[in-house]
Amino acid sequence: MDGDAIAARRIAVLLEYDGTAYCGSQYQENGPSIQSELEAAVNNLTSQSVRAAFAGRTDAGVHALGQVAAFDVSSRLTAAEVARGLNHFLPPDIVVRQARDAAANFDPRRHATRRLYRYRIVNLPMRPAIDRGRVWHVAKPLDIVAMQRAATALEGAHDFAAFAPPFDGRTQRTLQRCEVRARCEQLSIEMEAQAFLPHQVRRTVGPLVEIGLGRMTQEALEAALVAATPSSIGPTAPACGLYLVKVTYDGFTFDPSDSGSE
C-alpha cells in the first residue's frame, strides 16, 4: 500500500488439524494437504506466495494438536494478527493455535529436539459414532497389562528397522517414552523421541495391539526388535488414531498457557 519495503520475517505457527480430509501434511499432487491449505491462507492474507516447512510429516488421515510450521513473509501484522487472519481463511478442520516470530534460520523439522505422538484406541464391541475417524476402533478386549509391558520393552536406544519400511539411513532411534494408558474403554499410547522413522508409531501400535489381543507374544516383538529386519513386524495401525501432539525445541516455545489440550 505504501512504498516502504517491508523486510521478510520468519513466522512459526502451532497448528491443530483434523487430517481426515487431507492427503497428509506435505504438498501432494493428488489432493489437498495441510501445507497447501496453510500456504493458500497466507496468500489470501498477505498476497504473498510462501513455502511452509513442517516439523513432522503426517500421513493422510493423521491429526495434529501441535504441529509446527514456519514460513517467510513480509508483513506489518503482529504475529497474533497473523494467527487470527490465517484462521479466517483456513477451513474449519485446520486452525492456527498460536503464531510467533522465529529466527531467520529456524527450521521446524531439523531443530526439533523431541516429538510427542499419541495414538488413541477405543476398545468396545460397537464402533464409535461421535469419535469416528479420530480413534482406532478395536472391538475385542485388549490385555492392557501385556501391552504396557511390551511398550516398556521398546523404550531406550534400539535399531527400529523392523518398525519401519526399508529406509535409506540410520535406523537407530532413542524412544524416550512408550506408554500405554487406559481409562475405561479409552486407550492412549504415547511415544516420545527426538525423531521417528517413517510410520514408526503406527508400526509400533499395530504389534502392541496384536499383543493385547493375544495374537503376538512379547518375545516375538523383542526378537523382531533385535533382528532389525526392515518391515518385519506388522500390522500398521490405521492413520485415524494418530495425533502429533507436541514438538519441542531448545530455546523456542509457544506460549504454554495456551497449550492446554495437549
Count of CB atoms situated within 10 Å of the CB of 139: 11
Q: Which of 95, 144, 153, 195 binds its own copies (CB under 8 A)?
A: 95
Least distance to its own copies from the beta carbon of 64, Å? 9
Comparison of 92 and 169: residue with beta carbon closer to its own copies: 92
How far apart (Å, rounded) are the C-alpha atoms in residues 148 and 156? Answer: 15
- Grid coordinates in use for 36? 497447501
Of positions 11, 65, 138, 150, contacts its own copies by CB under 8 A: 65
Nearer to its own copies, 42 or 164 (CB): 42
Which range of residues in 48-56, 111-119, 153-161, 181-189 is near its own copies by CB under 8 A?
Answer: 181-189
Q: How far is the CB of 74 from its own copies (least distance, A)?
A: 24
Q: How many CB atoms lie within 10 A of CB 69?
A: 24
Choosing from 4, 18, 59, 107, which is the catalytic residue?
59
Q: Output 135 or 164, the one with its CB closest to its own copies.
A: 135
Identify whether 101 is a catalytic site residue. Answer: no
130 binds its own copies (CB under 8 A): yes
With respect to its own copies, which residue has the nearer C-beta, 19 or 206? 19
Q: How many residues bind its own copies (CB under 8 A)?
A: 30
Q: Is 16 in the site for its own copies (CB under 8 A)?
A: yes
Per-residue interface string for the shown chain with its own copies, residues 195-234, x marking contact by CB under 8 A: ----------------------------------------
Residues classed as catalytic: 59
